[in-house]
Each structure stands twice: as structure tokens, then as C-alpha cells.
């Protein structure tokens, strides 16, 4: 059995290429989501969606916005934690916060977060003498924090309410609970592994010392808090009737988010929404669509606009500062400049 799995791996690695497998998987997910969205929304009443938008309590929208802001604040610690993990202690929190917020805001909306977010990070961190390798390490550690948080939240949530995941993956609750227990077992094994002694991965000039046991627990806590705030924002925007428990909503939300992430669709557009509509079929679709639209505005559109504004302002400031610094040098380089200065 093991030899067969190795043969399959070698075949895909040498003959097909994992990049192509990933591309095909993304296209399949997007295609399925498009079909699902069409079947659910082809006869939707736009007027009722507009009325549903107007009926969402303003207090719920404000709370959702605060939870989104808290979630993005938590995201800044992904970068700050990663910087300390790779030994770049000279970079202050304000720079980590700038890089974390802007990279995730751009990555969430443009898609291909690893590349788009990495490019934004490099532009910011290069001013602090970090190399492309350093930025790659930061992306890796931040991604590890993201996945540790997701595994923990999904594992605990699915173990408690496996039927919530069944609404998306259509597997029996017993199998989902079994998968959750396996995921939690692997998570505990990983924590024990890094707790035993320092673990280094990579080779040559790309090596990362993984966070030890206590720091890994901190990683998990950061990931959980981030996901909890995001799920709370969505929880404030789903209809009040029928009632849905927060744990069930959190499992569905995280699962839908991961599907959107796997599709590489910008902002998980279409994929996330289709998963939420399928899993929350008990709600009136016009009311649920209204909640999803507000969530997209709060979590994607507004942070994206803020990030672009911040980056544009930063680039303008850098350009002005460079021109101001270059002006005295240009004056000194002109013929007769020294004589004029002496005469003055």
C-alpha cells in the first residue's frame, strides 16, 4: 500500500506536476460553486434582497464591523510573531501591523494570497533590510499560524457538532467526528513534536526553526482568536430566525472560507457564498444574501480600500522624501554651486 502511494506521488510529481493538479482542483471548485449559485439564485427576488438589507439592525452591522476590525488587528500579530520567530527583532510592531494588514487585505481580495501578500510584505519589509528569503519565511510562519488555528477550530467544532460540517461536505456526522478526532490527534502530536526539542526545517539558506511547544500554543491561540472574531462578524449578520448556534455557524463559516481559499478565487468570491448558502439552507435566501453582501463589504471591500489608500500614501511619502533628499545633492553637483555658497 505504501509503495503504491509513493508510485502515485512520483507520477504526479514527475509527469503531471502539482501546480497543474492545484489549478485543476481550483477550476473544479469554482465550476461547482458557479453551478450551485445559479441553481440557488437564478430566481432570487432582488427587491426582497434590498428590503432585507434595510431590515438588518444597524447595531448588528456596527458590531460586525467591530469584530472585523478586531479580526484584522489579530492578523497583525501573525506577522509580528513570524518576525520574532525568524529572529528579526529590530522590526517594530507598527511595521508588522502595516505589513500584516495591507498584505492580507490585498491578498484576500486579489487572490493567490501567498504571491500578492508576499509582494506587499516585501515592499514594506525591504526598507528594514529584510530579504526575499526573510519574507518567504514570514509568509511560511504566518501561514502555519493560520492553519494551526483552522485545524483547532474545525477539529473542536466538528467533534462537538459534526452535522455542521455535513451540511457542506455531505459526509455522515460520524465520519466527520472521526475526521475531527484524527485532526486533533495530529495537532497534539505536532505540539508534542516541537515541544520535545528545537525543530529546523528547510535546507541551505532557507531554514526555519519552528516555534517550540509554548510558542506553538500561542500560535494556536492567535489563530483561534482571529477566526472567532471573523465568525462572530458573520454571526451578527445572519438572520435571527431560525436560531443557529454560534459553534455550528463557526464550523460552516471556517469550512466555507477554506473552500474559497482552496479555489484561489479573489476573496473566495462565489465559492464561499455558495458554501454558505448550501449549508444554511434553513434561512430565507434573500435575507442570507443580504447578510453575505454586508459581510463582504465589511471584511473585503472596506479593508481593501483602506489598504490601497495606506499603500498609496506611503509610496507618495517615500517619493517626496527621496526627492527632498536628492535636491541638496543636485544643487551641490551643479557648476558654480560651491562658489555661490562661498559668496553667500
Higher pLDDT: 18 or 157? It is 157
Q: What is the pLDDT of residue 112?
A: 67
* pLDDT classification of 53: cutoffs 50, 70, 90: very high
Mean pLDDT of 193-214: 89
Higher pLDDT: 325 or 220? It is 220
Whether 302 is covered by a domain: the verdict is: yes
Mean pLDDT of 246-264: 89
Whole-structure pTM value: 0.84
Beta bridge partners of 200: 209
pLDDT tens digits for 110-166? Answer: 866 778 888 999 999 999 999 999 999 999 999 999 999 999 999 999 999 999 999
Q: What is the pLDDT of residue 339?
A: 45
Whether 163 is covered by a domain: the verdict is: yes
Whether 6 is covered by a domain: the verdict is: no
Q: What is the pLDDT of residue 205?
A: 76
What domain count does the chain have?
1
Mean pLDDT of 199-212: 87
Please give the mean pLDDT across all residues of the chain: 86
Whether 123 is covered by a domain: the verdict is: yes
pLDDT tens digits for 64-120? Answer: 999 999 999 999 999 999 999 999 999 999 999 999 999 999 988 886 677 888 899
pLDDT tens digits for 179-196? Answer: 999 999 999 999 999 999
In angstroms, rounded to a whole number, what is the distance separating the alpha carbons of residues 87 and 138? 10
Lowest mean pLDDT among 19-28, 46-55, 231-240: 19-28
* Angle, vertex CA 309, rays to CA 304 and CA 310, nearest 5: 100
For the CA atoms of 304, 306, 308, 309, the dihedral, rounded to the nearest 10 degrees, stands at 160
In this predicted structure, the answer to whether residue 296 has a pLDDT above a threshold of 50 is yes
pLDDT tens digits for 307-344? Answer: 999 999 998 988 888 888 777 766 655 555 444 433 33
Q: What percent of the chain has pLDDT over 90?
A: 62
Whether 48 is covered by a domain: the verdict is: yes
In this predicted structure, the answer to whether residue 14 has a pLDDT above a threshold of 60 is no
Q: What is the pLDDT of residue 342?
A: 38
Whether 263 is covered by a domain: the verdict is: yes
The parent domain of residue 74 ranges over: 38-316
Q: What is the pLDDT of residue 38?
A: 65
Tell me the HSE value of 38 on the side-chain side, using a 13 A CA sphere: 6
Whether 139 is covered by a domain: the verdict is: yes
Whether 118 is covered by a domain: the verdict is: yes
Amino acid at each position: 500500500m505504501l509503495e503504491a502511494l509513493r508510485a502515485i506521488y512520483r507520477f504526479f510529481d514527475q509527469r503531471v506536476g502539482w501546480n497543474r493538479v492545484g489549478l485543476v482542483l481550483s477550476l473544479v471548485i469554482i465550476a461547482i460553486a458557479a453551478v450551485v449559485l445559479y441553481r440557488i439564485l437564478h430566481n432570487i427576488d432582488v427587491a426582497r434582497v434590498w428590503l432585507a438589507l434595510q431590515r438588518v439592525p444597524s447595531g448588528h452591522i456596527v458590531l460586525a464591523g467591530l469584530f472585523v476590525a478586531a479580526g484584522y488587528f489579530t492578523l497583525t500579530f501573525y506577522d509580528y510573531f513570524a518576525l520574532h520567530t525568524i529572529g528579526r527583532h529590530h522590526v517594530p510592531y507598527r511595521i508588522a501591523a502595516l505589513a500584516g494588514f495591507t498584505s492580507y487585505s490585498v491578498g484576500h481580495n486579489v487572490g493567490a494570497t501567498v504571491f500578492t501578500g508576499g509582494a506587499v510584505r516585501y515592499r514594506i519589509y525591504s526598507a528594514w533590510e529584510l530579504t526575499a528569503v526573510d519574507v518567504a519565511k514570514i509568509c511560511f510562519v504566518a501561514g502555519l499560524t493560520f492553519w494551526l488555528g483552522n485545524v483547532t477550530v474545525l477539529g473542536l467544532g466538528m467533534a462537538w457538532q459534526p452535522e455542521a460540517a455535513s451540511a457542506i461536505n455531505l459526509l455522515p456526522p460520524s465520519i466527520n467526528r472521526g475526521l475531527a478526532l484524527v485532526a486533533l490527534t495530529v495537532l497534539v502530536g505536532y505540539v508534542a513534536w516541537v515541544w520535545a526539542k528545537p525543530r529546523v526545517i528547510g535546507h541551505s539558506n532557507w531554514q526555519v526553526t519552528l516555534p517550540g511547544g509554548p510558542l506553538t500554543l500561542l500560535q494556536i491561540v492567535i489563530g483561534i482568536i482571529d477566526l472567532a472574531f471573523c465568525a462572530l462578524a458573520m454571526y451578527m449578520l445572519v438572520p435571527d430566525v431560525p436560531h443557529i448556534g454560534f459553534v455550528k455557524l463557526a464550523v460552516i463559516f471556517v469550512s466555507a472560507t477554506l473552500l474559497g481559499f482552496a479555489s484561489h478565487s479573489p476573496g473566495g468570491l462565489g465559492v464561499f457564498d455558495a458554501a454558505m448558502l448550501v449549508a444554511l439552507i434553513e434561512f430565507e435566501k434573500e435575507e442570507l444574501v443580504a447578510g453575505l453582501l454586508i459581510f463582504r463589504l465589511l471584511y473585503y471591500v472596506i479593508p481593501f480600500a483602506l489598504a490601497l489608500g495606506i499603500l498609496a500614501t506611503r509610496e507618495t511619502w517615500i517619493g517626496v522624501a527621496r526627492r527632498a533628499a536628492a535636491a541638496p545633492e543636485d544643487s551641490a553637483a551643479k557648476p558654480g554651486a560651491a562658489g555661490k555658497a562661498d559668496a553667500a
